[in-house]
Structure formats: structure tokens, C-alpha cells
């Protein structure tokens, strides 16, 4: 099968050409779609369940009497899912829970000065809303990647939304995953209307403080809209098409590398796949393997569309490959070299890193332990993937005794006046004077 792949020799490129080779396809700002998303949000916010029913009939082509999944539908889902799949889910959830339990941050307290006690206390977000896509490829794995850290963090209420199928039912695998994660409330809502309902609440759907989960452009735009509204909801992170960058040398198995690239490409036509290698022989072999494997792939059309903007980049050495990875900041980074761990100390700009030929990114998608909800579009330079801390709020506590105020109060008053904030300074001065037993009266506008 003929497969044309974009090739580049990094050493032969000038600065502008390097920028172009690593540029992600431009994301068109679809003003028409954004306007429609805003209209959907406004409808849900102002008319609640009535708007959800109208939108469900028009967009999902199903009419629902109630949105929340009932006990009978949960039971039917349990019966419909193969036992082997359920057990694989249980094992995956156990590993994900073990990993996330280990990343639980800690509260602490210390005296920064005698008599000045400062504390950090951790509080879970009260109610969180999770979104699990269920289009051409339902993603039950997203349920445990979000539900497990929310549970470990101690969130008292976890609500899940997932699009209904044409018959008005929720995808059974989504429901089974939800129950395995202890999620009791699931709503059959998809797209921008689901995000609006979770952010603002309706008669049936509870309002959530923070929203999590991937989705299509409608979901992404809706999340950005509600996050920008002070009365809306916070969101997990900026989202974009899924992506992988593979660093491989001549010790890598070409078939493995090709399989890893295709695993990412089949997510969607806008998925990003890059291979960086100092070996021309490996690049040729991977290109050949891609064509062979693509021929029998069920989602070949989607993968082929993604490969149309893939890059195979030849570099002088692995040092240059590391530089490219750090510059690109991929969602997933696979290091398939003779000594992958030797490169790890120099790698930081990635959502998740996979070391060695026996570590396909697929393990991270489902069952290794770390989260698969990760930053894309280069946001890995500053953002981390979803973790327990994503579901927590850090609250700082400060308590001073009279001795503590005497010790640090003068510094506070001095610095407040340096910033021309006289009322700040007086809030300290009054207390210090009271401690000295002096009756201090400061008229409004008088000098201290």
C-alpha cells in the first residue's frame, strides 16, 4: 500500500524551517461554532431541563424522559459486558488507584517565627463533574482516569455525564466503569449542553465546581466558555488533539514503533504523530511497517488522515532528538532506544513518558497506573496531567500570638507603607499599640 509520509533532515533545516516542521496544524477558530456553543449554554442556563430535552432531540436524535441513569439500566449494563472485560477494568482501576494514592499531597504546619504558626490544609472540591466521550469509540477508561483520583482526593460528590446512544441508553461499558469507581450519578448528556448543565446546574443536574474530561470541539469550546465565566466552573486544563512523539535509535523494532504511531493516529484525523531518529534505516523500516499495518487497521481511514501531517525526522544524534522533544512538548513521549533511562534526566516537557521497547503508550491509556488525561498542544511545558491534586484545594492558615505579632508586625507595617497602603499598616499599628497599653487614636487621613 502506498503511503506518503513527510520526511525531514533536522541538520539541513534553518531556524524557520525547524519551526515549520514542528508546527502543529493550525486550529481554526470557528466563530460560527463558538456562537452556537454560546447559544447552547445560554439556553441550558436559562431554561434548564426543557432546553436539554430539545437539544437532545435535535443533536442526539433521542428523546429522554429523564437524564439520570436508573438502577435498571445500570443492572442491564452489568449483564451486557463480558466478564473478562469487567475483570480487566477492575485490575486497571486497582493499579490506577495505587498510583494515585501514592501522589496524595500532604498538609503541614510550621512556625516561621516564634509565635507565628502557618499551615497548609487540603480540602477536596465539593462536587466535580466528569465527562466521558462515547462517540465512534466510547472511552470507559476515561471514567476511571477521572473517577479514581477524585475518589482518592475525597471529593464528596462525583457526577458523570456521557452522551446517549440513538436508543436513549448510555454506553454499557461507561456505566460499568462508573460503578467500579463508585460513581452513583450518571447523566445521559453529551456535547456543549452537557458541559453547560454541569457548570450551571438544571432542575435535574447538580451544579459542579470543576469539570474534567476530554471531548470534541463542541465540548472543548463549551469548557473554555464556562471557565471564562465567574459564575461558571473551573476546568482541568486546555485540551487539543491527542499526540505522540517517539525517539528511537537503530536498536528499536520498526514494527513496534509503527504500531505506537498508529495507536495514536487512530484516535482522530487531527491526531499528531512524530518519529525522531538518528537512523535513516529505522525511518525507512518504520515507513514500510506503517503501510503494512495500516492495511488491516479497522480505523484505517482515520489513521491515514492523521498520518497525512505526521513527520519522520532524522537527527544527527540522540542529543538532537532530546532537544526536539523538549521543544515540541508532546502529550505522550516514547523513548525506544538502547538505554532509554539515560535520557530521562534531560526530559521534562511531556505529559507522560514511556521508556523502552516494551512500554507502549497503550499501557498508559488503560492500566499501568498514571493518568491518561494529559496536556496537549505544547501545554506540557507548563501543565501536568490530571492527578489527585487536580481535585484538591490548598488552603493556607496563619495564626499569630501577641509575641508573634511583636516579632513580625513592624516588618508588615513597614512594607505596607512602602506600597503606600496606609490602612494595611494601621491594622498592625493598632494591635502593637494595644499590646503596649497605649490608647491610640488615629483620625481618618491623619499621619501614623
DSSP assignment string, 223-238: HHHHHTSTTS-EES--
Q: Using the Cα atoms of residue 241, residue 81, residue 387 and residue 165 in order, give the sign of their dihedral.
A: positive
pLDDT at 137: 74
Active-site residue, from 100, 267, 332, 372: 332
pLDDT at 2: 65
Q: Using the Cα atoms of residue 420, residue 424, residue 426 and residue 431 in order, give the sign of their dihedral.
A: negative
Please give the average per-residue pLDDT across 363-385, as a whole number. 95
Residue 213's domain spans which residues? 31-238+389-394
351 and 416 belong to one structural domain:
no
Tell me the three cell numbers of residue 207: 451544579
Structural domain count of the chain: 3
Of 174, 188, 182, 99, which Cα lies nearest the Cα of 143?
174
Of 235, 297, 295, 307, which Cα lies nearest the Cα of 268?
307
* Residue 121 scores a pLDDT above 80: yes
Tell me the three cell numbers of residue 108: 503541614
Residue 114 pLDDT class (50, 70, 90 cuts): very high
Task: Determine contact, residues 277/357, Cβ cutoff 8 Å.
Answer: no
391-420 pLDDT, tens digit each: 999 999 999 999 999 999 999 999 999 999
- Work out the angle between the directed axes of helices 217-227 and 31-47 (0-180°, nearest 10): 60
Within a domain: residue 441?
no
14 and 115 belong to one structural domain:
no
| Number of neighbours of residue 400 by Cβ within 10 angstroms | 19
pLDDT at 240: 84
pLDDT at 1: 53
SS3 130: strand
Please report, in angstroms and rounded to a whole number, the separation of the first and last CA atoms in the chain. 84
Task: Determine contact, residues 323/11, Cβ cutoff 8 Å.
Answer: no
Within a domain: residue 316?
yes
> What does the alpha-carbon distance between residue 57 and residue 94 come to, in Å, rounded to a whole number?
38
16 and 36 belong to one structural domain:
no
> What does the alpha-carbon distance between residue 145 and residue 68 come to, in Å, rounded to a whole number?
21
Helix, strand, coil distribution of the chain in percent, nearest 5:
45, 15, 35
pLDDT at 128: 98
Within a domain: residue 383?
no
194 and 232 belong to one structural domain:
yes
266 and 161 belong to one structural domain:
no
> What does the alpha-carbon distance between residue 435 and residue 400 come to, in Å, rounded to a whole number?
13
101 and 205 belong to one structural domain:
yes
**386 burial level (CB within 10 Å; 0-12, 13-18, 19+):** buried
Q: Range with the lowest mean pLDDT among 14-28, 241-255, 337-351?
A: 14-28
Give yes or no: 331 in active site: yes
User: Who contacts 380 (Cβ-Cβ below 8 Å, separation ≥6)?
Assistant: 329, 330, 331, 349, 350, 351, 374
Task: Determine contact, residues 259/246, Cβ cutoff 8 Å.
Answer: no
333 and 192 belong to one structural domain:
no
- What percent of the chain clears pLDDT 90, i.e. is strictly above it? 89
Please give the average per-residue pLDDT across 308-316, as a whole number. 96
> What does the alpha-carbon distance between residue 403 and residue 67 come to, in Å, rounded to a whole number?
59
254 and 226 belong to one structural domain:
no
Please give the average per-residue pLDDT across 218-237, as a whole number. 95
228-274 pLDDT, tens digit each: 999 999 999 878 889 999 999 999 999 999 999 999 999 989 899 99
> What does the alpha-carbon distance between residue 69 and residue 25 come to, in Å, rounded to a whole number?
39
pLDDT at 216: 86
Of 128, 391, 386, 364, which Cα lies nearest the Cα of 239?
386
Give yes or no: 332 in active site: yes
Within a domain: residue 112?
yes
Task: Determine contact, residues 209/298, Cβ cutoff 8 Å.
Answer: no
Within a domain: residue 379?
no
pLDDT at 447: 52
Burial 193-204 (b: 16+ CB within 10 A, else e): bbbbbbbbbbee
> What does the alpha-carbon distance between residue 188 and residue 168 come to, in Å, rounded to a whole number?
8
pLDDT at 418: 98
228 and 268 belong to one structural domain:
no
pLDDT at 440: 44
User: Who contacts 242 (Cβ-Cβ below 8 Å, separation ≥6)?
Assistant: 264, 267, 268, 271, 272, 331, 332, 376
pLDDT at 28: 63
Q: Residue 54 is part of a domain; what is its CATH number? A: 3.40.50.1980
257 and 318 belong to one structural domain:
yes
> What does the alpha-carbon distance between residue 273 and residue 71 come to, in Å, rounded to a whole number?
42
* Residue 32 scores a pLDDT above 80: yes
Within a domain: residue 59?
yes
Residue 25 pLDDT class (50, 70, 90 cuts): confident
| Number of neighbours of residue 271 by Cβ within 10 angstroms | 24
Within a domain: residue 376?
no
* Residue 142 scores a pLDDT above 90: yes
SS3 210: strand
232 and 93 belong to one structural domain:
yes
Of 201, 128, 137, which Cα lies nearest the Cα of 163?
137
Task: Kindly list the distances between the CA atom of residue 75 and the CA atoms of 70, 79, 179, 185, 324, in Å, as whole numbers in the listed order.
Answer: 9, 6, 10, 14, 50
Active-site residue, from 243, 266, 331, 361: 331
Tell me the three cell numbers of residue 414: 513597614
Within a domain: residue 377?
no
Please give the average per-residue pLDDT across 375-385, as a whole number. 94
150-208 pLDDT, tens digit each: 999 999 999 999 999 989 999 999 999 999 999 999 999 999 999 999 999 999 999 99
Task: Determine contact, residues 81/172, Cβ cutoff 8 Å.
Answer: yes
pLDDT at 441: 47
363 and 321 belong to one structural domain:
yes
Task: Kindly list the distances between the CA atom of residue 436 and the CA atoms of 58, 423, 446, in Å, as whole numbers in the listed order.
Answer: 73, 20, 21
Please give the average per-residue pLDDT across 315-330, as a whole number. 98
Amino acid at each position: 500500500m502506498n503511503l506518503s509520509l513527510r520526511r525531514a533532515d533536522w541538520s539541513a533545516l534553518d531556524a524557520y524551517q525547524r519551526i515549520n516542521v514542528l508546527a502543529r496544524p493550525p486550529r481554526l477558530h470557528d466563530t460560527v461554532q463558538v456562537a452556537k456553543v454560546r447559544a447552547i449554554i445560554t439556553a441550558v442556563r436559562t431554561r434548564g431541563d426543557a432546553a436539554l430535552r430539545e437539544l437532545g432531540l435535535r443533536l442526539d436524535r433521542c428523546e429522554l424522559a429523564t437524564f439520570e441513569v436508573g438502577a435498571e439500566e445500570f443492572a442491564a449494563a452489568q449483564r451486557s459486558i463480558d466478564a473478562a472485560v469487567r475483570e480487566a477494568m477492575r485490575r486497571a482501576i486497582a493499579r490506577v488507584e495505587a498510583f494515585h494514592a501514592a501522589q496524595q499531597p500532604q498538609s503541614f504546619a510550621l512556625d516561621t517565627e516564634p509565635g507565628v504558626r502557618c499551615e497548609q490544609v487540603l480540602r477536596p472540591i465539593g462536587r466535580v463533574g466528569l465527562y466521558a466521550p462515547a462517540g465512534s469509540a466510547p472511552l470507559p477508561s476515561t471514567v476511571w482516569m477521572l473517577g479514581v483520583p477524585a475518589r482518592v482526593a475525597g471529593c464528596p460528590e462525583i457526577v458523570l455525564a456521557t452522551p446517549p446512544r440513538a436508543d436513549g441508553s448510555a454506553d454499557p461499558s461507561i456505566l460499568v466503569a462508573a460503578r467500579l469507581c463508585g460513581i452513583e450519578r450518571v447523566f445521559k448528556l453529551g456535547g456543549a449542553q452537557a458541559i453547560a448543565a454541569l457548570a450551571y446546574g438544571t432542575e435535574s443536574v447538580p451544579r459542579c465546581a470543576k469539570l474534567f474530561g476530554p471531548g470534541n470541539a463542541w465540548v472543548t469550546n463549551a469548557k473554555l466558555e464556562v471557565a471564562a465565566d465567574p459564575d461558571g466552573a473551573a476546568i482541568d486544563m486546555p485540551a487539543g488533539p491527542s499526540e505522540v512523539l517517539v525517539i528511537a535509535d537503530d536498536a528499536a523494532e520498526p514494527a513496534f514503533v509503527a504500531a505506537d504511531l498508529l495507536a495514536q493516529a487512530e484516535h482522530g484525523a487531527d491526531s499528531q504523530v512524530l518519529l525522531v531518529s538518528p537512523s535513516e534505516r529505522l525511518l525507512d523500516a518504520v515507513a514500510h511497517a506503517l503501510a503494512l499495518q495500516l492495511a488491516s487497521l479497522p480505523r484505517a481511514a482515520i489513521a491515514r488522515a492523521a498520518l497525512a501531517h505526521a513527520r519522520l525526522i532524522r537527527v544527527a544524534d540522540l542529543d538532537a532528538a532530546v532537544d526536539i522533544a523538549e521543544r515540541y512538548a508532546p502529550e505522550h513521549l516514547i523513548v525506544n532506544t538502547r538505554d532509554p533511562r539515560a535520557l530521562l534526566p534531560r526530559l521534562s516537557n511531556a505529559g507522560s513518558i514511556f521508556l523502552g521497547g516494551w512500554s507502549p503508550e497503550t499501557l498508559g491509556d488503560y492500566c499501568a497506573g498514571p493518568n491518561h488525561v494529559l496536556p496537549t498542544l505544547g501545554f506540557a511545558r507548563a501543565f501536568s496531567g490530571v492527578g489527585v491534586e487536580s481535585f484538591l484545594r490548598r488552603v493556607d492558615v496563619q495564626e499569630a500570638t501577641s509575641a508573634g505579632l511583636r516579632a513580625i508586625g513592624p516588618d508588615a507595617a513597614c512594607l505596607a507603607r512602602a506600597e503606600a497602603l496606609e490602612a494595611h499598616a494601621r491594622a498592625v499599628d493598632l494591635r502593637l499599640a494595644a499590646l503596649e497599653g497605649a490608647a491610640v487614636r488615629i483620625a481618618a487621613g491623619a499621619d501614623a
